Amino acid sequence: MTADIRDLQDAKLNFDGITYAKGASVLKQLVAYAGREAFMEGARRYFQRHAYGNTTLKDLLQVLEETSGRDMSGWARAWLQTAGVNALTPQAVCDSAGRITELSVTQQAPVFEGPNPPRAETDVLRPHRVAIGLYRREADGALVRYAQAEADVTGPRTVVPALAGQPRPDLILVNDDDLTYCKARFDERSLETLRAHLGAIADPLARALCWSALWNMTRDALMPARDFLTLVRNFGGAEAEIGVLQMVHSWARSALERYTAPRRRAQEAVALAGAALTELRAAEPGSDHQLAWARFFAECAVSDADFRLLEGLLDGGDRIDGLEVDQELRWTFLLPLAAHGRADERRLAAELARDDTASGTRHQVRCLAARPSAEVKARAWADVVESDKLSNALTEATIDGFAQPGQSELLAPYAPRYFQALERIWRERSIEIGMAVVRGLFPMAGGDGTTLAATDEWLAGHPAAAPALRRLVLEARDDLARTLRAQAHDDAA
């Protein structure tokens, strides 16, 4: 097969400056759009006709048109030749008896801001084959699905007549069963339900889809970061799927460090660390959940009591039943201690002596660069930007340690130096190192409108810079703009 077919699996799109691998999701939507039986029959015909031969994407779409009766070329144009992610929002109108008289789904095109938006059409409203699920609370408190209908969402507003007459739902999930690639939104009643009962959703996939949708709303400044953190504190401990829990932990850290209004961040950090410690102590001893909560607690640690507990777990003075503090977890605990000035160079050297491996060296280098000292930051910057003596792995470890939450004053002097060094780094270093430096040293921590303006100034003043370099800077610029919008929304909430 040629690259045309592989494009379905390797397809990528750029949304708000972030590149998402979407191959699996697009294939899933292709199956849903064609219909599972029609897709399987089309696949059989496709392989029979082209056995041992070369094909193009057009050949696959042709047989799918035969078996499904749908316009697959139009689907391919909308899904593979345009950028961005559509947002789908359900809305239900009910009568006085509490029955749905009309349920509709609105579709919003991607919104691109900032300089140099994508050249491709960005106002496209794609054809989506979706399942809309209606959920209600049962007597035992569980949120369960009681009705579902599949529908084609093709324009700005699509009415779903199959759900008319159903009882008023507590929750409408517009991308039930995860059939399409979109940003799912919620109506107000559904949001109220999730704020009070997110952990009560019985189906693990539906619950994960709701977590993901709520996170996208936070990133898009539609939900205050404080609300998302409240959801994590209230319902994170009830999440049974370890993969979902780990993702929620990652989102929570981003919500705290990037999207929370600066004046509220300290307060939210204390609350999040407290909740993490509560869940750590309550988790099943020796379980994956206990380990996940231990890592998350270390990442959130902010108070003297938090740090003393981490130190006690390291030296054996404190124990949590079932928690094995192995070497990897020891380094996890040491990073926040180093970043807050509680693990010095001597302490980190002693730890390296315990773990004298390549992995241990990377961890030590990361911790050394994380320490809250102007001298430390200057040395780390020089090692990465001014010289080329570090290996790729140690360069990335130094970059990871350099920019730590809460160190914006130490990092502020490096913002102008970053823009001055960009083209030289890109010209002199390998692609891998260049990408690591451009992404990792962008002045995101403590970034504000001044940083955004400096980024725009660099972009405007360097139109002939390497296209790949400009794209990386554009992506970082978009991340910062998103961060500032979310912080403003959280501040005003």
Count how many residues are written for the chain: 493
Angle of helix 431-440 relative to helix 392-402, nearest 10 degrees, comes to 0
> Sign of torsion, CA 405 457 20 216?
positive
Q: pTM for the whole thing?
A: 0.91
The tokens describing 489, both together, are 């929304």
* pLDDT in 10s for each residue of the chain, 493 residues: 333 444 444 444 333 333 333 567 888 999 999 999 999 999 999 999 999 989 988 999 999 999 999 999 999 999 988 888 999 999 999 999 999 999 999 999 987 666 665 554 457 899 999 999 999 999 999 999 999 999 999 999 999 999 999 999 999 999 999 999 999 999 999 999 999 999 999 999 999 999 999 999 999 999 999 999 999 999 999 999 999 999 999 999 999 999 999 999 999 999 999 999 999 999 999 999 999 999 999 999 999 999 999 999 999 999 999 999 999 999 999 999 999 999 999 999 999 999 999 999 999 999 999 999 999 999 999 999 999 899 999 999 999 999 999 999 999 999 999 999 999 999 999 999 999 999 999 999 877 899 999 999 999 999 999 999 999 999 999 999 999 999 999 999 8
CB-count exposure of residue 379 (10 Å: 0-12, 13-18, 19+): middle
Angle of helix 72-80 relative to helix 57-68, nearest 10 degrees, comes to 130
Closest CA to 235 of 267, 210, 205: 210
Q: Report the amino acid identity of residue 185.
A: R
What number of other Cβ atoms are within 10 A of residue 222's Cβ?
Answer: 16
Contact 83, 14 (CB under 8 A): yes
Contact 60, 44 (CB under 8 A): no
